Structure 1
C-alpha cells in the first residue's frame, strides 16, 4: 500500500470532507432507527 503524497503532507486529512456515514455515524444510526 502506497500512502498518497497529500496524506503525508497533510496530517489533518481527517478534517477533509467525508461521507455522512463517516462524519456522523451515530446520527445516521438514529435516523435509520427513527424510521
Structure 2
C-alpha cells in the first residue's frame, strides 16, 4: 500500500528516524570526546 508520493508509512518513519539520529549526532558531536 503506497500513497501518491510513493512512500509507505514504514519508509517515511525510517526517513524521520534517520534524520533525527543524524541531527542528534551532529548536535552532540563537537561537545563529546
Does TM-score exceed 0.5, indicating one fold?
Answer: no
What TM-score, normalized by structure 1, do the two folds share?
0.32
